[in-house]
Structures are given as structure tokens and as C-alpha cells.
């Protein structure tokens, strides 16, 4: 039957060919004769591989291999560098071969939902034109820092995985508009969220977040889904203030950070010769009150943001947002609405 469909498509010079739901265990090699097709549907079958002959499909822009029995991305796909949309959902894929990913530089959409992928290789950065990446319902435990190279990314779905943290490089995705992270194991979002100024939809429901990162309220979100987290509560408690004694390391770091503000200064030039020190100082923060830099967060502080009032969203929900303060001296100043987070 499939060969008859191929003959019919050849006569009609078809641009699309559909072999979905044909109960196939293999793709007929005759499909390779359809060198002019742009779209190929092979979904809802029992395929475990693709014939190497399909490398002749050099005009193919969309390929649907969803709901099959593939255990990895077929190696023949590395030759189909005209592909823009690739659907591999509902297979048994556990890994992404780096050599195949390197042939996907024109891909704009990659759907790998409902597989068993545990890790994304660094070669994911080869997908430089990718706009949509969906890995819903896999086994991912972390993302590579190279995810930050996908500068054209607009939508990323990582819900239903095992992510415990995100690399801060995710904030390099300046075009990202929709980010889905629901039902993972995230305890915090990295600082630097202000880098996602085009973000409109954020789903972090069903994680273990206690608060949102600094400056979260500056995002222009249209929708925030955050139910099922363990956010700190706005509940006053009696506490004892510890004696504040800054270590020599902290005092030195603060001094260096102040001096480093002058890009023409001696300290700034000297830091380039001490990469270890520069790395140590990379995670510095700025006090929300006195605006001075510091290295170590000595007291976890939050402010409570009303989504409707402060972020112009439709929901009146209140959420905690991390605040950076440099000392008890600043914390004890009057006129601010920041709270220290108690451990109970």
C-alpha cells in the first residue's frame, strides 16, 4: 500500500506525504524518491529506525516522527539540514547524539515530549535558529550552560522533568516569551531574571520555590502560574538579632568590589590577572537600600509583591521576592517594607 501511495505522490508532484497511522514497522525505501516533498508525516506507527536512503530528501522542512518506537534520533537526519520542524514526541529516546544535533542548524522547532531523555549535550548550542524547544515529560535533571547560546528561543517547555536547578545562562535568552517549568524539583530560580524582559508567560507550578529572585517584579508578565510551591509566608515572628561581625574575606571583597566600579582603576586592571578572584567575586550583590556591593548574603530577605498592583496582572495574588541587603545597619533602617526570613 505504501509503495502505491509513493507512486501516486510522484505523479502528482506532491509537496506533502502522509504515512501516519499505517501500522508500519519500517519506512519503505521508495519514499526516498520523493525528493521534492516539503512535509513528511510518519507519526503513529511502530518505527524503530529510518532507512539511510531518506538522506535524498534534501528539500524536507517538516518531519513528524511522533508516537513511534525510536530509541534515539535516527542518524540519517543529520543529512537533512533543510529541516525546520522536527516532531519526535512519544518515543523511547534516551539520548541526543551530538553528531546529529550538529546538523540541525536550520531547525526552528524541536518537539521531544514524552521520552526518557536524561541529559542535553553541550552540542545543543548548534541549534542556533531554534525558536521552540519542548521536552515535556522527560527525565532531565539539569540543563547545560550552552542553553544560553539559543538566542532566538521564544518558547521553552521543560515541565514534568526532574530539574533541581537552572543555569543562570538561561537568562541570555533575551527573546524568550514563554517558559514552562511546572512539576520539577526547583528550590530557587537563579538571579538575573531581569534578562528575560520579553517573558510574558511563566509556569513554575508544582515546584519547591520559597521565593522569586531579585527584581522579579520588573518583568512584564501576562500570566504567572505558581501554585503548589512552598513560598515563605508574610507572618511576623519574634526574633533575636545576632551580633554582626564581617569576616576579613567579606570586608576585603566589599572593598575590591567598590574599587572595581572604576573600569579605569588599578583594581579593575589587576583583576584580569587573577581569574580565581574574579570568579569568586562574580556572584556579588547590591544592597537594595544603600546600593553598595557585597559578597555574602548574611540574611535572607524578601518583599511581598501583589501581582495585580505591582505587576499589572489580573490576579491579586501576593508572592515573595528576594531582596538583597548588606548589613543589619541597613535592615534596621525605617521606611522600607523588607522582611527577614526566619528559620523555624
Backbone dihedral angles phi then psi of residue 16, each to the nearest 5 degrees: -135, 140
Contacts of 210 (CB under 8 A, 6+ apart): 187, 188, 229, 230, 231, 232, 320, 341
Q: CA angle, 98 as apex, 74 and 192 as ends, to 5°?
A: 125
Contacts of 60 (CB under 8 A, 6+ apart): 37, 38, 39, 40, 80, 82, 83
Give domain 2-225's CATH number out of 3.40.50.300, 3.30.110.70, 3.40.50.2000, 3.80.10.10. Answer: 3.80.10.10
Q: Which residue has the higher pLDDT, 265 or 339?
A: 339
- Model pLDDT, residue 77: 95
Collapsing DSSP states into helix, strand and coil, what is residue 69? coil
Digit-coded pLDDT (tens) for 51-79? 999 999 999 999 999 999 999 999 999 99
- Model pLDDT, residue 1: 59
Nine-digit cell string for 48: 524503530
Nine-digit cell string for 300: 535572607
pLDDT of 9 > 80? The answer is no
Collapsing DSSP states into helix, strand and coil, what is residue 127? coil
Question: Residue 216 — left, alpha, or beta (φ > 0 → left; ψ -120 to 50 → alpha)?
Answer: alpha
Least confident piece of the model among 154-158, 179-183, 312-316: 312-316
- pLDDT above 70 as % of the chain: 93
Q: CA angle, 2 as apex, 21 and 45 as ends, to 5°?
A: 25
Confidence category of residue 5, pLDDT binned at 50, 70, 90: low
Nine-digit cell string for 314: 489580573
Count other Cβ atoms within 10 Å, centred on residue 4.
Answer: 9
- Model pLDDT, residue 216: 95
pLDDT of 258 > 70? The answer is yes
Q: Which residue has the higher pLDDT, 267 or 191?
A: 191
Q: Which residues pair with 224 in a beta bridge?
A: 202
Structural element, H or E, at residue 12: helix 2-12
Confidence category of residue 343, pLDDT binned at 50, 70, 90: low
pTM: 0.89
**Residues 311 and 217: beta-carbon distance below 8 Å:** yes
**Residues 118 and 94: beta-carbon distance below 8 Å:** yes
- Model pLDDT, residue 342: 66
What is d(CA 171, CA 145) in angstroms, rounded to the nearest whole number? 11
Amino acid at each position: 500500500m505504501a509503495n502505491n501511495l509513493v507512486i501516486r505522490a510522484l505523479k502528482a508532484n506532491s509537496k506533502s506525504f502522509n504515512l501516519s497511522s499505517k501500522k508500519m514497522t519500517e519506512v519503505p525505501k521508495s519514499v526516498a524518491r520523493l525528493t521534492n516533498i516539503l512535509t513528511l508525516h510518519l507519526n503513529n506507527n511502530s518505527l524503530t529506525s529510518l532507512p539511510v536512503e531518506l538522506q535524498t530528501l534534501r528539500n524536507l522542512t517538516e518531519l513528524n516522527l511522533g508516537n513511534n518506537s525510536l530509541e534515539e534520533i535516527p542518524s540519517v537526519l543529520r543529512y537533512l539540514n533543510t529541516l525546520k520542524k522536527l516532531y519526535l514526541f512519544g518515543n523511547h529516546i534516551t539520548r541526543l547524539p551530538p553528531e546529529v544535533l550538529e546538523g540541525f542548524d536550520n531547525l526552528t522547532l524541536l518537539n521531544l515530549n514524552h521520552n526518557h531523555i536524561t541529559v542535553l549535550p553541550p552540542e545543543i548550542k548548534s541549534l542556533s535558529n531554534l525558536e521552540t524547544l519542548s521536552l515535556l515529560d522527560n527525565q532531565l535533571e539539569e540543563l547545560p550552560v550552552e542553553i544560553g547560546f539559543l538566542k532566538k528561543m521564544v518558547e521553552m517547555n521543560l515541565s514534568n522533568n526532574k530539574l533541581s536547578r537552572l543555569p543562570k545562562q538561561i537568562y541570555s535568552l533575551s527573546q524568550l516569551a514563554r517558559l514552562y517549568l511546572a512539576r520539577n524539583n526547583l528550590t530557587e530560580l537563579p538571579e538575573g531574571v531581569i534578562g528575560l524582559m520579553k517573558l510574558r508567560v511563566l509556569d513554575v507550578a508544582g515546584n519547591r520555590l520559597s521565593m522569586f529572585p531579585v527584581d522579579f517584579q520588573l518583568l512584564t508578565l501576562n500570566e504567572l502560574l505558581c501554585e503548589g510551591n512552598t513560598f515563605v509566608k508574610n507572618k511576623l515572628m519574634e526574633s533575636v538579632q545576632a551580633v554582626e561581625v564581617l569576616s576579613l574575606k567579606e570586608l576585603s571583597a566589599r572593598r575590591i568590589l567598590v574599587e572595581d566600579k572604576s573600569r579605569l582603576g588599578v583594581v579593575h586592571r589587576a583583576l584580569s590577572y587573577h581569574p580565581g578572584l574574579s570568579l569568586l567575586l562574580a556572584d556579588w550583590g547590591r544592597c537594595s537600600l544603600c546600593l553598595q556591593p557585597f559578597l555574602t548574603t548574611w540574611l535572607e530577605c524578601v518583599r511581598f509583591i501583589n501581582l495585580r498592583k505591582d505587576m499589572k496582572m489580573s490576579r491579586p495574588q501576593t508572592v515573595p521576592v528576594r531582596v538583597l541587603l548588606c548589613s543589619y545597619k541597613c535592615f534596621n533602617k525605617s521606611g522600607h517594607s523588607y522582611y527577614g526570613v526566619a528559620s523555624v
